[in-house]
Amino acid sequence: MVAVTLGPEGTYSHRAATAVANGDEIDFRQSVTAIVDAVAGGEYDRGVIPIENSIEGSVTESLDALSEYDVAVVREVVTPIKHALLAQSDEFDTVASHSQALAQCRSYLEREHPDATVEAVASTAQGVEFARGDASIAGIGHPDNGGDGLEVLAEDIQDQDSNATRFFALAPAEERSKGGGKSSLVVYPNANYPGLLLELLEPFADRDINMTRVESRPSGQRLGDYVFHIDIEAGLYEARTKEAIEDLEGLTEKGWVRRLGSYDTEHVVG
């Protein structure tokens, strides 16, 4: 089984993908959209994308890609985020990392390195590689990325000790499963009227289905038009879930409901 995730090697996405690939080959792409497109097209067996961070919230590119492409979510991997500051020495003037990593360490950087320039790059691993090649740059990444000329100047620099990220393991649409403790849906009502959101939530509340996440994203069709991403604690195989989705489809006759699939959650430590 070949998996694809955000590169280069050493990203947190790579660490999550290692659990999914289980020793098999892992390839890399530079964007979430490219990963989802490759899985939807059958180029890869699995794709691993970040979906939500406990501090910075949802990864909007991932949500938008799941709206655009027909793929299945087959696993959820939750991994702790342990940020370290890595540089050739403490004589640096720029900190380069992924925008979410920079945001997750904002308080530390403002307190300990207030004069440093903050630069957002494509991934935490890319920032680390910049630091490895330039003594004026520090990177933020997992402490295991130290060595080979890089010192770990500080560990656990994230603002919250509980920092963790959810990743979705994606598969081609035909591998979608109805069995699992959680399910994800994408709903496009193609409508806008008072009480719409309440109507979309009621089918789940009426059946005691816990909704763990509800989030809206612009549809791209017109201003004020939204796609809703919904996570629930129930499997698609359950009668109550089937009934709730049937009600949902009745409310979205002008739009659509996409079942991303049911899955279980795996916690990866380290």
Which homologous superfamily is 184-259 in?
ACT domain (3.30.70.260)
pLDDT at 161: 82
pLDDT at 270: 63
User: Under CATH, which architecture does the 1-81+163-173 domain have?
Assistant: 3-Layer(aba) Sandwich (3.40)
pLDDT at 1: 81
The whole-model pTM stands at: 0.87
For the chain, 270 residues long, give each residue's pLDDT as a single digit of tens.
899 999 888 888 998 999 999 888 999 998 999 999 999 999 999 999 999 999 889 999 999 999 999 999 999 999 998 899 999 999 999 999 999 899 999 999 999 999 999 999 988 889 999 999 999 999 999 998 898 899 999 999 999 888 899 999 999 999 999 999 999 999 999 999 999 999 999 999 999 999 999 999 999 999 989 999 999 999 999 999 999 999 999 999 999 999 999 999 999 876
Taking alpha carbons only, the member of 15, 35, 18, 3 closest to residue 165 is 15
Which homologous superfamily is 84-154 in?
Periplasmic binding protein-like II (3.40.190.10)
pLDDT at 42: 95
Calculate the CA dihedral of residues 162, 64, 123, 138 and round it to 10 degrees: -60
Q: Using DSSP bridges, classify how beta strands 137-141 and 3-6 pair: parallel, antiparallel or unpaired.
A: unpaired
Report CA-CA distances (Å) from 3 to 17, 39, 72, 181. Answer: 7, 9, 14, 23
84-154 and 184-259 share one fold: no
DSSP state of 173: G
pLDDT at 226: 95
Domain extent listing, the chain: 1-81+163-173, 84-154, 184-259
DSSP state of 210: P
Rounded-to-integer distance, Cα 50 and Cα 66, Å: 12
